[in-house]
Amino acid sequence: MLPVVPLVWAARAAGHEVLLATTSEMTDVAARAGLPVIDVYPDRTSWAAYTALIGHPGDLSTAVPPEIVAAAHVPAPFAMFTALMTDGTAAAAHSFVPDVVATTGDHPAGSLAARAAGVPVLEVGNRISWSHRDADWRSPIDAFAGPGVLDPLRARLGIPADTPTIIARIDPRAPSMGGLDADQPDPRDGRPWWPMQYVPYNGGAVLPDWLAARRQRPRIGVTLGTVVPMMSGTTSLSVVLEALADVDADVVLAAGAADLGALGTLPDNVRSVGYLPLSVFLPTCDLLVHHGGSGTTAAPLFYGVPQLVLPSFADNPLSGQRVADRGVGLSQDPSTLTGELVRDLVLRLLTDPSFGAAALEVQAEIAAQPSPATIIDRLDRELASRLPRAPGRGAGAADERL
């Protein structure tokens, strides 16, 4: 959800009415971002179903309805989330009566809700590692949820089987990392792909005093996100911190709510900050060490900071490969880590100027791409040509519902 927040801000700033449909802990995150939010799976947790899906402890049968239990066994990455969220998202679309649904391209619930409401879709890419342009899928919705989940949902909710009208698809990647430098038609259906500048959002915070102090040596950020410590523990984090203990640098450890007890006493050069948004401290860093999450990979690109990726699962290895191929950092399988290896990689990234130069090149590419505000302006013009206007509403009126 976080990568689409700047686009929502742009829509609100343009005068559009917006409703964000999400669930679980993301409802609070979205509300804190100043967005109107509806919980499409209220009073229950999608996390219990997800952890059961990947084999962690939890009684799936009591955590979710029976149809979700079935969805958890479908071999498609967003099958369960589609089953969890489509009912509530479709109901929100019916009650809010949007003119368009903007939805991430890899989560079918948004497209299903748009088809249920009979309105067009703006598909928003939210990953820096890959795009639907990279895959030869006739139906991305089927690829991400599977007909075993989609067919019963469509039948029960009365959603037609065809796809909604797609206004455009958005690719947020820098051109040299697989993105677009100009509009392109999608070979599947001819719909346009629009390039868009990636703008990181990961929350706000009051700046800590130490952040404003003059730096005496390099600063290295370290984070494994929120999911990796929960699923894989902190073993790789222990190796990284041990390796950095004798590096002449200040280390900012942003480990969120992860239990750091197994790490013992932290090295003297490590400052543990719990959850601190990347956008708060990353601009002051010389290097970010992280797990390869899409947003975590994209943020250093925006700020021109080299990175060391230790990819774990999902699309993390793809993120690491993109980083290494472009020369903005290095990627290393965390199962192969040793303290000596981590130290060598970090020192290489800090001393070889080619990584910093490449990171600044990508930063400049991102800055030159169309902003979220430009995308909303394009969307407004497109909708103006499609929607009937009440008296007094000009073709450029910014009053659609998104």
Q: Is residue 390 part of a domain?
A: no
Decide if 399 is inside a domain. Answer: no
Strands of the sheet with 192-195, listed across from one edge: 101-104, 121-124, 166-171, 192-195, 184-185
Query: What's the pTM value of the predicted model, to 2 decimals?
Result: 0.88
pLDDT at residue 47, as a whole number:
61
* Of the candidate ranges 18-22, 255-259, 364-368, the one whose mean pLDDT is the lowest: 255-259
What pLDDT is stored for residue 106 in this prediction?
A: 81
Tell me, yes or no, whether 250 and 304 share the same domain.
yes
pLDDT of amino acid 397: 47
Q: Residue 49 domain-assigned? A: yes
3-state secondary structure of 183: coil
Nearest to 194 by CA among 221, 226, 169: 169
| pLDDT tens-place string over residues 225-271 | 655 554 555 567 889 999 999 999 999 999 877 667 777 888 999 99
311 pLDDT more than 70:
yes
Query: Of 51-55, 114-118, 366-370, which range is least confident?
Result: 51-55
**Beta partners for residue 251, in sequence order:** 220, 270
Q: Are residues 227 and 100 in the same domain?
A: no
Q: How many domains does the chain have?
A: 2
Confidence (pLDDT) at 395:
44
**What average pLDDT does range 345-350 have in this prediction?**
97
The residue range of the domain holding 71 is 2-198+369-384
| Mean pLDDT, the chain, integer | 85
Do 128 and 244 fall into the same domain?
no
Answer yes or no: do 138 and 165 share one domain: yes
Amino acid symbol at 99: D
Question: DSSP string spanning 282-299?
Answer: GGG-SEEEE---HHHHHH
Residue 226 covered by a domain:
yes
How confident is the model at residue 53, as a pLDDT?
54
From CA 274, how far away is CA 287, in angstroms rounded?
18
- In a domain, residue 134? The reply is yes
Q: 26: Cβ–Cβ under 8 A, 6 or more apart, which residues?
A: 1
Say if residue 64 is in the same domain as residue 120.
yes
> Cα-flanking dihedrals φ and ψ of residue 304, to 5°?
70, 35
Say what the pLDDT of residue 72 is: 62
pLDDT of residue 393: 42
227 vs 25: CA distance, rounded Å: 13
pLDDT tens, position by position, 60-97 = 555 555 556 666 666 666 788 888 899 999 999 999 99
Question: Within a domain: residue 48?
Answer: yes
Residues 169 and 230 in one domain: no
Query: Which amino acid type is present at position 194?
Result: W
- By the 8 A CB rule, do 305 and 239 touch? no
Residue 127 within any structural domain of the chain: yes
Contact 289, 253 (CB under 8 A): no
Residues 337 and 224 in one domain: yes
Q: Which helix (H) or strand (E) holds 250?
A: strand 250-253
Q: What is the pLDDT of residues 28-65, one digit of tens each?
A: 999 999 999 999 988 666 566 555 555 554 445 555 55
Higher local confidence (pLDDT), 70 or 128: 128
Confidence of residue 300 (pLDDT cuts 50, 70, 90): very high
Write down the pLDDT at residue 159.
Answer: 93
For residue 357, being part of any structural domain is answered with yes
Which single residue is written with the structure tokens 């703006």?
122
**CATH at residue 145:** 3.40.50.2000
Does 345 share its domain with 271?
Answer: yes
Residue 390: pLDDT band (50, 70, 90) is: very low
- Reported as a pLDDT band with limits 50, 70 and 90, residue 285 is very high
Residues 116 and 60 in one domain: yes
Over residues 162-185, mean pLDDT: 92
